[in-house]
Amino acid sequence: MPELPEVEVSRLGISSHLVGQTITAVIVRQPKLRWPISDELKLAQGQQIKAVKRRAKYLLIDIGIAHIVLHLGMSGKLRVVPASVQPIKHDHLDLVLASGKCLRFNDARRFGACLWQPAGELLPQLRNLGPEPLTEAFTSQHLFTLSRGRKTPVKSFIMDNEVVVGVGNIYANEALFMANIDPRRAAGRISLQRYQKLTKDIKEVLASAIQQGGTTLKDFTQSDGSPGYFRQHLRVYGRAGKACEQCEGTISSVVIGQRNTFFCPRCQR
């Protein structure tokens, strides 16, 4: 599933093609995605795109009267192509632009979404979200305060979108390894000092992943079709049974919150 870095890479890839353009047509080939596409999406025709923003794993295309809110789900891809290019299988939606190009949304599994958020309103999916991890609002004190009394594993804690948005499975594994924290430890039993290191490492791993174009494991590619290269920098994720690069011990794997979790028993405590 595309995580925050992959969504941010997609935003960066499409923004220059969209901002300032007028939407001349909306073509919906498959309205039944994770949530049905609203008929209000047709109101986007004739509107100018003012900005392309991101909140958590959602992309928000600002057209003044509303935001077109996109979620990539598990397999969604966004491409900017000439509008004359024939759609292929699973190309469910086109936003046709005055430039002669279109933003095309492809989603084989149909777990993605295209939602309509009128100006001044906030969709339920965007309510009760924690701070963005790459902003000053995300601090070690924030994590420490919210964690007090929590028995949930720290990995599940930092993946909770009400605590902080966008720290998905891959990057939670990597940040906890960098901070030398066992992902199974109760969130409430971790000190402020250790949260200071973890906060720094979450920011570092996410920023590095964005710089490397995200992580391509199976479905994700950048908007130009190229893969994300952060996979080459993964130190624990997907490396169960292999040697730890830090201590040469063996990387272990357990399931936490129904997600595969990778860690080094020697380095992480």
Catalytic residues: 2-3, 57, 259
Question: Which tokens sit at 66?
Answer: 């509303």
Annotated binding residue 90:
yes
Q: Going by C-beta distance under 8 Å and a sequence separation of 6 or more, which residues neighbour residue 109?
A: 73, 74, 75
Cβ proximity of 26 and 42 under 8 Å: yes
CA 167 to chain centre: 8
Annotated binding residue 29:
no
Annotated binding residue 150:
yes
Give the integer Cα–Cα distance in Å for 211 and 25: 33
Q: Which residues are documented as binding site for DNA? A: 90, 109, 150
